[in-house]
Amino acid sequence: MSARLKVRVDPILCDGHGLCAELLPERISLDDWGYPIVDGTPIEGALLAHARRAADACPVVALRVERAAAEAAATPPAR
Ligand code: SF4
């Protein structure tokens, strides 16, 4: 079974450049101040490539593609 992935924004790092919303409009919109509003729905298929491209393009590395929370919680910590 493949991992369920989603995008997440670190609000401390984010500078509100808005590039992510242009590259991944299926999951990210912008608020009135230009900061991202992220839809945490898991990402699959072709959309995953767009999500990774958006994360790579973030100038302050605030956008990440990571495992969905329920799956991350079920995974034992690395030793
Ligand atoms: S591209 Fe990065 S810095 Fe810009 S709004 Fe998105 S997460 Fe924030």
Which residue ranges make up each domain of the chain? Answer: 5-74
Ligand 1 atom showing the smallest separation from residue 17 Cα: 4
73: pLDDT strictly greater than 70: no
pLDDT tens figures, 43-56? 999 999 999 999 99
Cα gap 40→21, rounded to integer Å: 14
Cα gap 12→1, rounded to integer Å: 33
pTM as predicted: 0.83
Taking a C-beta distance cutoff of 8 angstroms, is the pair 54, 36 a contact? no
Q: Say if ligand 1 is within 6 A of residue 20 CB.
A: yes
Ligand 1 atom showing the smallest separation from residue 28 Cα: 6
What are the phi and psi torsion angles at 50 (to 5°)? Answer: -65, -40
Fold of 5-74: Alpha-Beta Plaits (3.30.70)
Q: Say if ligand 1 is within 6 A of residue 36 CB.
A: yes
66: pLDDT strictly greater than 90: yes
